[in-house]
Structure 1
């Protein structure tokens, strides 16, 4: 297995967990819980599909025309596009439709991080009311890779396919990034959570780093570079 994380990885602090079957590689602060940022949209996709809030992966949701957020969000989109673009308006609407009670109960059943202690579902992944550690993120990704989360296998397959970044003759990689705004110390947070398949074996990972201006896609790009070397 390739060494996908070491002291030379961009950024500071944070941690990483790599799971290969029963084997585990751990680096840094893997038990520290942090806001999940947009990695939580992976969970919202599964809960949305399972509950019927998202009728199907091909259901197109209509953009309301508000000129907010990134330009690439300003369009109609289905689930795959929403995940690939990490659309805020799409997943805030999913969270609102799921509602406070259903979201809270589902996260308790998943044993997701700290559990959700907030009141506004549409802010759950950014307002500090929900936190999760790299260790817990990697365990979730490992179960999703195996299709063993408590959701229909077809829904888990849809999410993995929607998050597929690269597929070659040697490996396939899927994952979800997450990025925070700068904190009072000028640091931002960058997550990448997912799995890659190499030699028929699923290898799950969760990486989080801190650094001025570091964001999830930067973490993802470094991982891809290491996988393809």
Structure 2
């Protein structure tokens, strides 16, 4: 979904957007289809959480319809505990999964919890694994069951 939007928007629009939201090092590299996974674009877990907070509070002053559309795209699960929103990512080098991400937030009746999990390994580090780790931690903390 997000790669299709990037392709439609083009390089300049993507670069401008990354600058507008102050996303990491804002480097798209030379291939618009790969900058998320080829390590051109770099961001820390703390920067990811700060971005999520700004997005959630709409500190960027985007149209509320667009914010709601992105939130809908990020919604993964709703239970009696609340709603889980998130996005995974996997970085590959030489055909090996070396960098896994899971970022998002949980809305409960009395709080919003933000998270960003990044795992790195010489192989086998995927967004799916980052998701499993995150869900385990959130469960152990009593935030998400």
TM-score between the two structures when normalised by the length of structure 1: 0.54
Secondary structure of the 2:13 match is helix
Write out the 4+ residue segments of structure 1 that deviate beyond 6 Å after TM superposition: none
Number of residue equivalences:
138
Q: What does residue range 69-218 of structure 1 map to in structure 2 within 5 Å? A: 82=1, 91=3, 93-116=4-27, 118-182=29-93, 188-211=98-121, 212-218=123-129
* Cα distance in 2, alignment partners of residues 127 and 187 from structure 1: 11
Task: Kindly indicate whether the alpha-carbon contact (under 8 Å) linking 1:147 and 1:157 is maintained by their aligned counterparts in 2.
Answer: no
Task: Return the offset for 1:137.
Answer: 0.6
Task: Kindly indicate whether the alpha-carbon contact (under 8 Å) linking 1:118 and 1:129 is maintained by their aligned counterparts in 2.
Answer: yes
Task: Kindly indicate whether the alpha-carbon contact (under 8 Å) linking 1:142 and 1:203 is maintained by their aligned counterparts in 2.
Answer: no
Q: Which has the higher contact order (CA 8 A, sep 6+)?
A: 1
208-217 vs 114-123, which deviates more? Answer: 114-123
Task: Return the offset for 1:187.
Answer: 6.3
CA 1:128–1:210 in structure 2 vs 1: closer, same or farther (change >3 Å)?
Answer: closer
Task: Kindly indicate whether the alpha-carbon contact (under 8 Å) linking 2:106 and 2:112 is maintained by their aligned counterparts in 1.
Answer: yes
Unaligned runs of 5+ in 2: none
* Cα distance in 2, alignment partners of residues 98 and 177 from structure 1: 22
TM-score between the two structures when normalised by the length of structure 2: 0.81
* Cα distance in 1, alignment partners of residues 39 and 60 from structure 2: 25
Provide the alpha-carbon RMSD of the alignment.
Answer: 2.2
Unaligned runs of 5+ in 1: 1-81, 84-90
